[in-house]
């Protein structure tokens, strides 16, 4: 409670706003893949499971990737505070678009959500990152507690949105997600009086010439390709699968190119060069994480005994298990990071997170093998989500905290955006890997994921000492 007492008054407002924003996001996330693969007779898109998984992975990757341009707009144009309001409005419009019961509304709706999330995520993290400059242990604890706002809403969102979608209509579920985002915007507008000067102005305002140059580049490299793809799809020259491959290639290359550019500017230096290895490790983890709302959601629908006392639970309800575990464990991890202090560096923490992710998919392989004989107990899937949560509670808040510390003044949102860009690489690869399920048995697929996660943990462990020395931060003494 001593940490809570030292938080700025506006922290409570951000906590609630993020809770509602995550309600809309996780509610939609719980039903999106199931909607894509559901037959048209049940109101779905009737996509092939591997195509739906690839689309889902690209969507998740673009959500992460959007933090880059969103971070630039927040840092250089809008300021973090206005960026949250504009981004939240776009998210609400996106969910409302998905609530319209026509198939062509899918892609514009997802696009609006991607753009809005790109503004909101780095801006919220940047405002929190200002709380404890030079005190990584305190910041890690704060990010862990802030994670709770996500989990409170992520816990209930799949239950409410999933029930509406699977029992009544998919588009009603998307509509409930829109209601959650609108509620968050109203609370944010009312609570801004507690913010003081935080996030009012851009940290590093762009000149009129810089804004014009970026706008022209966005139209050239964004508007023209999107228009060509739309024309190709309409003319039948391009298929959804081919478009997903093209987007995936762009997603793989963009973070690497941006890192090189960032490392040559004011944000560059030994820390950022060491930080790239942590970014690669986080990409491996998010590759594993991306399996949860996609193939594992389908696994819950088809292979898990969901009957309890004569009542069959919607498959989407299993998406509440992960936030429940996060909600319970986040305070434990926050206390753990505070007590460990600087005795345990970030690389060993990441090793533990990757190892948890690898082991969880070894367990998932065992569950899939058992499911080939009969419907399995929900405890299998709950165990998998518990292990995945332990990994997420390391890679998520600890990685964000390190990104905020590595970033020089005026570049916080962009370095945080770089963190999410590498997460995008992982999500995109994770979605594309689902193609393997068409040629290899599902148990072997999950076992391969487990081997990749465990191997990445061992490689990182071998270099943890050297990385720790290069990332070591000078602590700032607390004022008494």
In this predicted structure, the answer to whether residue 74 has a pLDDT above a threshold of 50 is: yes
In this predicted structure, the answer to whether residue 417 has a pLDDT above a threshold of 50 is: yes
Q: May I ask the CATH architecture of the domain 10-471?
A: Up-down Bundle (1.20)
* φ, ψ of residue 348 in degrees (nearest 5): -60, -35
Ranges 120-124, 133-137, 358-362, 461-465, most confident: 358-362
Question: Tens digits of per-residue pLDDT, 193-234?
Answer: 767 666 667 777 777 777 777 777 777 666 666 776 667 666
Q: What is the pLDDT of residue 477?
A: 40
Q: What mean pLDDT do residues 351-359 have? A: 92
Q: What is the pLDDT of residue 451?
A: 94
The CA angle 322-324-326, to the nearest 5 degrees, is 70
Q: What is the 3-state secondary structure (H, E, C) of 111-165?
A: HHHHHHHHHHHHHHHHHHHCCCCCCHHHHHHHHHHHHHHHHHHHHHHHHHHHHHH
Confidence class for position 479, pLDDT limits 50, 70, 90: very low
For β-strands 311-312 and 307-308, DSSP reports them as antiparallel
Question: Tens digits of per-residue pLDDT, 418-466?
Answer: 787 788 888 888 888 888 888 899 999 999 999 999 999 999 888 878 7
Q: What is the pLDDT of residue 198?
A: 67
CA distance 308 to 379: 13
How many residues does the structure list for the chain?
480
Q: What is the pLDDT of residue 3?
A: 40
Q: What is the pLDDT of residue 71?
A: 79
DSSP 300-366: HHHHB--EETTEEPPGGGGGGHHHHHHHHHHHHHHHHHHHHGGGS-HHHHHHHHHHHHHHHHHHHHH
- Kindly state the percentage of the chain with pLDDT values over 90: 12
- C-alpha closest to that of 326 among 183, 159, 153: 153
In this predicted structure, the answer to whether residue 73 has a pLDDT above a threshold of 70 is: yes
- C-alpha closest to that of 162 among 276, 368, 317, 306: 317
Torsion of CA 239, 244, 246, 251, to 10 degrees: 170
**362 neighbors 397 (Cβ within 8 angstroms):** no
Please give the mean pLDDT across all residues of the chain.
80
In this predicted structure, the answer to whether residue 82 has a pLDDT above a threshold of 90 is: no
Q: Which of 80-89, 181-190, 396-405 has the lowest mean pLDDT?
A: 396-405
Ranges 12-16, 91-95, 143-147, 231-235, most confident: 91-95
* φ, ψ of residue 372 in degrees (nearest 5): -70, -15
Look at the alpha carbons of 168, 28, 87, 331 in this order and tell me if their dihedral is positive or negative: positive
Bridge partners, residue 312, by sequence:
307
């Amino acid at each position: 409670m001593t940490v809570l007492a030292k938080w700025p008054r506006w922290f409570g407002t951000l906590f609630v706003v993020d809770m509602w924003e995550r309600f809309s996001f996780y509610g939609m996330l719980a039903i999106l893949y199931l909607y894509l693969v559901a037959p048209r007779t049940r109101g779905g898109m009737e996509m092939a499971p591997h195509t739906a998984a690839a689309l889902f992975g690209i969507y998740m990757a673009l959500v992460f990737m959007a933090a880059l341009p969103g971070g630039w707009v927040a840092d250089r144009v809008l300021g973090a505070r206005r960026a949250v309001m504009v981004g939240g409005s776009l998210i609400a419009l996106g969910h409302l678009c998905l609530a319209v019961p026509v198939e062509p509304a899918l892609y514009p709706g997802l696009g609006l959500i991607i753009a809005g999330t790109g503004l909101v995520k780095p801006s919220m993290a940047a405002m929190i990152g200002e709380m404890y400059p030079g005190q990584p242990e305190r910041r890690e604890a704060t990010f862990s507690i802030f994670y709770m706002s996500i989990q409170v809403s992520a816990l209930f969102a799949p239950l409410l949105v999933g029930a509406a979608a699977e029992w009544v209509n998919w588009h009603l579920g998307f509509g409930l997600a829109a209601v959650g985002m609108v509620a968050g915007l109203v609370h944010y507008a009312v609570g801004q009086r507690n913010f003081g000067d935080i996030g009012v102005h851009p940290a590093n305002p762009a000149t009129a010439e810089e804004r014009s140059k970026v706008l022209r580049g966005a139209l050239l490299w964004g508007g023209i390709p999107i228009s060509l793809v739309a024309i190709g799809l309409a003319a039948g020259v391009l298929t959804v699968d081919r478009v997903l491959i093209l987007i995936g290639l762009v997603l793989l290359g963009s973070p690497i190119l941006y890192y090189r550019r960032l490392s040559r500017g004011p944000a560059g230096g030994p820390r950022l060069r060491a930080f790239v290895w942590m970014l690669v490790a986080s990409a491996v983890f998010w590759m594993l994480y991306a399996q949860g709302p996609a193939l594992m959601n389908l696994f819950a629908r088809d292979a898990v005994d969901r009957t309890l006392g004569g009542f069959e639970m919607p498959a989407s309800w299993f998406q509440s298990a992960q936030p429940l575990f996060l909600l319970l464990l986040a305070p434990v991890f926050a206390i753990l990071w505070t007590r460990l202090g600087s005795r345990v560096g970030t690389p060993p923490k990441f090793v533990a997170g990757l190892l948890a992710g690898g082991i969880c998919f070894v367990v998932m392989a065992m569950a899939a093998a058992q499911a080939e004989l009969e419907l399995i107990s929900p405890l299998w899937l709950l165990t998998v989500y518990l292990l995945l949560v332990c990994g997420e509670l390391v890679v998520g808040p600890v990685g964000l905290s390190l990104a905020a510390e590595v970033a020089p003044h005026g570049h916080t949102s962009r370095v945080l955006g770089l963190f999410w860009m590498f997460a995008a690489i992982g999500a995109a690869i994770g979605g594309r890997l689902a193609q393997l399920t068409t040629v290899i048995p599902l148990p072997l697929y999950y076992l391969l994921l487990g081997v990749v996660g465990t191997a990445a943990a061992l490689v990182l462990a071998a270099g943890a000492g050297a990385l720790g020395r290069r990332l070591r931060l000078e602590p700032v003494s607390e004022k008494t």
